Structure 1
C-alpha cells in the first residue's frame, strides 16, 4: 500500500512539474509575433514574409510584425533570432542565403544553420531571373558576355547581397562564360532593383518573386531564368540552358525559430502556415510571383536544410568567395 501511494505521489509530482511547460505551449501566442526578414524591404524574402504575416495574424488573432534586419549576407537578422528566447514569439524568414550559402561563406558565423534553429515550415521555392534596364542593349546572355568582355575588369553585376544564391550564380556564370565581373552587393533585392531601374547598375540576378512585378510593368527586361524549363508565368524568358549555359538554381524561403522551441508550438505554427499558403488567394499570389508553395514537415525541412548546407559548401569553396 505504501509503495502504491509513493508511486501515485511521484506521478502527481511529475504531472505538476509538466504543467508549466504545457501551459506555456498552450498559451502561445502570448503577444505580437515578430518575423525577422534578414534583407531590406522589397525583395522576395520580404514579400513572402508579409504574405505569411497577414495570413498568420488572421488565424492566430494577434499582430504579426515584419521586421527587416539586413546585412552580412542575411546573417545579421538570422543571428538575432538564433539568440532570441525559444518561445515562438520571434521567428525568421530563413532562406538559401542565410541557412545554406552563408555558413560556408562567412568564416566568423556564430550560428549553426541546423542546430541553432527550430525549422518550422517551407513556404515557397522559386527560380532566379536575370534582368537589365529596358534601355540596355543587352537582350540575351550572348550580349551580356560580349558587354563584359568589352569592359576592362568586366561588367558590374548586382545581387541582393554577398552570399546569396544570386551572387553565386553570377560567380558560376562568369566561370562558365570565361568573363570577369564586378559584384555589386546590395542590402536586399529592393535596393538592387532600384539601381537597375535607375541605370546605375547594368543588370542584376534576382529571385523571380521580387522581379516579377517589375518585369510585367516593363521597368526591367528579363534575359534569362534559372529554371530547368521556361516558366509558365513568363514563357517568353529563355532559360540559361537554352542559351548554352548549364546553369540552374532554385531559391527557397521558409519559417524558422530559435532552437529549443516547444513541440506543441512548432506543430501549431506549422499547421497554421500550411493553412495560410493553401488558401486560393495565396496560391494565386504565388503563381503571379512565379513561386511554388512548400510542403514539408518540420522534420523534413530540418533534413532539407542540412542537405542544402552540404550541397552549397563545395560551390562556395570552388568560387573562392569568402567573407570575414
Structure 2
C-alpha cells in the first residue's frame, strides 16, 4: 500500500476539521446543557472552598444550570487540578485554580503531570487574599515578638500548621524561618479546615492561613491574629499589624481563579468569563469579600492567563532558593 502524501492526508482530515468548526458554535449555543462540576482541589473549610461556594450559587443562577462544588484534595492541589486538565473541554468541568496548584506546585513537585499554562483555559481571576499568622489564644504566642522569642528559646523550634505542602502559606512559613534564622516546623494538613481545627484544639500552636478562611475564627476569638502579610493593614481587621510592621520584611498574597481544560471553545470561555465577572461585581458578593478579607478579581481570560504566566516565573526561583520540599 502506498504511503499517503501530505496533500492526501490533509484532504482526509478536512471533513473532521469542518465538523469541529461546526461543533464549536453549536456547543456555545447549547452550553451549559447539564450541571457544571467545580472541582476544589482542597478539603472543605478553607479559603478555596469558601470562595468556590460564594461564586457557585449566583453563577449557576446566571447560567441556568447548577454549579456543584466537588472537593478533591491531595498533593498540593495537583490531584484535583490534574483531573480537570484531563477532562473534556466542554465547559461542564472547571477547577478553582490557585497560587498553590498553578504557580508553586510546578516548581515544588518533580512529578506534576500537567502544564499550568498549556493544559488549561484560564477564565477569570476570582480573588486576591493576604495571609495571616494565627495562634491558639492561650497556648500560642501573644504577638510576633513573642513568637520570635519562643522560637529562639525552644530547642526544637515552634510548630506551625498550613493547609498543605506546596501552598503559599507553606512557603510563608519557610520564609519566616529564614528571617528568624531557624527553621519553623511545618505541619501540613489536607486543607485549611483541618489545620485550623488542630490549632483551635491546641494540637498545634500556630498556623499560616489565608485571611478569608481564618476571618470568622479570629472574630469569634477561637484564634488570635498576630500579623497579616499584606502591604498595609486590612480594612476588615485594622487592629492586626502587618508582618512588616512587626519587623518581618515579608509581603505576599494568595490568589484563586477559575480555569477549565485546554481548548475550551472561545465562545464558551468568553461567556463564562463575563458571567463570573458580573457575579464578582454584585454588591452583595463584594460585601462578603470585604467582610472576610478578600479582594474580588477583575481579570478576563487574556489578563488572567498573563497573570498565571507571571506567577509561574515569580515563584519558581522562590521555591528553589527556599529549599522547600513536599512534606
Normalised by the size of structure 2, how large is the TM-score?
0.93
1:144 matched to 2:175? no
Q: What is the match of residue 3 of structure 2? A: none
Q: Tell me which of 99, 106, 124 is aligned to 1:96.
A: 99
Name the counterpart of 1:6: none
CA deviations 1:242-265 (Å, max 9, x no partner) are 111100101111100000100000
Distance 1:161 1:16, change over 3 A: closer
Q: Which residue does the alignment assign to 2:221?
A: 218
**What residue is the counterpart of 2:7 in the other structure?**
none
Per-residue CA deviations over 1:224-251 (Å, capped at 9, x if unaligned) read: 1001111111011011111111001011
2:131 is equivalent to residue 133 of structure 1? no
Q: Equivalent residue of 2:96, what SS?
A: strand
Q: In the alignment, is residue 170 of structure 1 matched against residue 173 of structure 2?
A: yes
Please give the alpha-carbon distance, in whole angstroms, between the structure 2 residues aligned to 1:137 and 1:60. 46
For residue 316 of structure 1, what is the aligned residue in structure 2?
Answer: 319
Q: Which residue among 116, 121, 124 is the counterpart of 1:121?
A: 124
In structure 1, distance between residues paired with 2:17 and 2:321? 54
CA RMSD of aligned residues (A): 1.5
Q: CA deviation at 1:135?
A: 1.2
Correspondence for 1:186:
189
Find the aligned partners of 1:137 and 1:119 in 2 and give their Cα distance. 40
Shift of 1:15: 7.8
Matches within 5 A, 1:1-324: 18-323=21-326
* Corresponding pairs, count: 312
Rounded Cα–Cα distance in structure 1 between residues aligned with 2:61 and 2:187: 39
Contact 2:137 2:224 in 1 (8 A): yes
Deviations 1:113-167 (A, max 9, x none): 1111000000111100010011135111111111112222211110001010100
Cα distance in structure 2, aligned partners of 1:213 and 1:86: 37
The SS at the match of 1:251 is strand
Q: Cα 1:14–1:151, aligned 2, differ >3 Å: closer, same or farther?
A: closer
Using the alignment, how far apart are the partners of 1:201 and 1:77 within structure 2?
27
Residue segments in structure 2 that go unaligned for 5+ positions in a row: 1-15
What 5-or-longer segments of structure 1 have no aligned partner?
A: 1-12
Contact 2:133 2:206 in 1 (8 A): yes
| Residues 140, 205 of structure 2: 8 Å contact kept | no
C-alpha distance in structure 2 between counterparts of 1:22 and 1:111, whole Å: 28
Q: Are the equivalent residues in 1 in contact too, given 2:176–2:184 (CA < 8 A)?
A: no
SS at match of 1:308: helix
